[in-house]
Amino acid sequence: MLEVTTPALYGHAPYDPHLSSIAVTTSSGTEYLQTSPEYALKRALAHYGEALFEITPAFRAGDVGQRHSPEFTMLEWYQPTYGLSQLMAEVNALLNAMTQPPAIWQEYANKEIPEVSFCTTFTEQFGANPNQLSTIELWALVQSVESEVGHLTYIDDDLFRSDCLDFLFDRVIAPNLDPIFYLTEFPVCQSALATIDSDAQTVRRFELYWMGIELANGYEELRDPVEIRQRFRSAAEQRRRRGLTEVALDPAFVEASGEMPACAGVALGLDRLIMVWLERSSLGEVQINFAAD
């Protein structure tokens, strides 16, 4: 596997409305500290056509808390010809190679980590397919769980739908699942830059959860420039409705996506992994921080 180093400063910010980039003024104009190396790595993958990875600082504005930091370290890699099952097996192999595993991982190291279908478990819990519920119906379900949800404001679009589904999964479904599991088969509104299984109407992606903490996020990668542009237009409208900063589409990334080999890719937060591995409760316990000096 090829190790690459991509620029931390990049001329385009990601268009995902959930991600907020840190803008930096340079002699070239406004550039952005990258929320992940995804765009640059996909350009490298299109160029080299072989498996590659990067370990790099990543930056997200406004991410502050026990499990969030404006700066953190990300491991991201892409495997041509891989599907999600192969990529999940590779994540497992990485964790099994780490020394001094905590007791909870020792329980899972020699057995298969459960795979939980988002769409199936949601349908079993609430009696309705998450792709088919209206935003009004989802909002009613959210309010039945918690009457005041400060971080959600009703807007009739797929971003609000996704946020409601995440809330319901986190509050109602996840507490009853295994301590460690892979979440798979996401609703269509959570496709991001992953491919969609048109027959099952589910997204080909996974997230690795460890006692309520998301550690890794993997996709079968979307390689259709036309579809990427359509998703960008939808995201741009979602940003506009929420008064978020306008973001330009990166044409080099779009072109490279169409030239990549079929592949699966995953991003893993190393700070979070170290935090759970050492059985700590906050990132501040595993990160060096000179901000108060």
Q: What is the mean pLDDT of residues 163-174?
A: 97
**Reported pTM:** 0.94
Q: Supply angle C-alpha 234, 155, 123, rounded to 5.
A: 85
How many angstroms separate the Cα of 94 from the Cα of each of 4, 58, 180, 216, 218?
A: 19, 21, 15, 12, 14
Q: What is the mean pLDDT of residues 140-155?
A: 90
pLDDT of residue 293: 54
- Run of H or E residues at 77: strand 71-80
Other Cβ atoms less than 10 A from the Cβ of 138: the count is 22
pLDDT of residue 31: 95
Residues in CB range of 23: below 8 A, 6 or more apart: 13, 30, 31, 32
pLDDT of residue 292: 54
- DSSP code of 217? E
pLDDT of residue 150: 80
pLDDT of residue 67: 85
- What is the end-to-end Cα distance of the chain in Å, rounded? 40
Q: Is the pLDDT of residue 48 over 90?
A: yes
Residues forming a β-bridge with 213: 210
pLDDT of residue 156: 96
pLDDT digits (tens, 9 = 90+) for 193-245: 999 998 889 999 999 999 999 999 999 999 999 999 999 999 999 999 999 99
**Is the separation of the CB atoms in 58 and 71 below 8 Å?**
yes
Q: What is the mean pLDDT of residues 138-164?
A: 92
Fold for domain 2-114+178-285?
Answer: BirA Bifunctional Protein; domain 2 (3.30.930)
Number of H helices, E strands in the chain: 9, 12
pLDDT of residue 112: 84
Strand, coil or helix: 58: strand
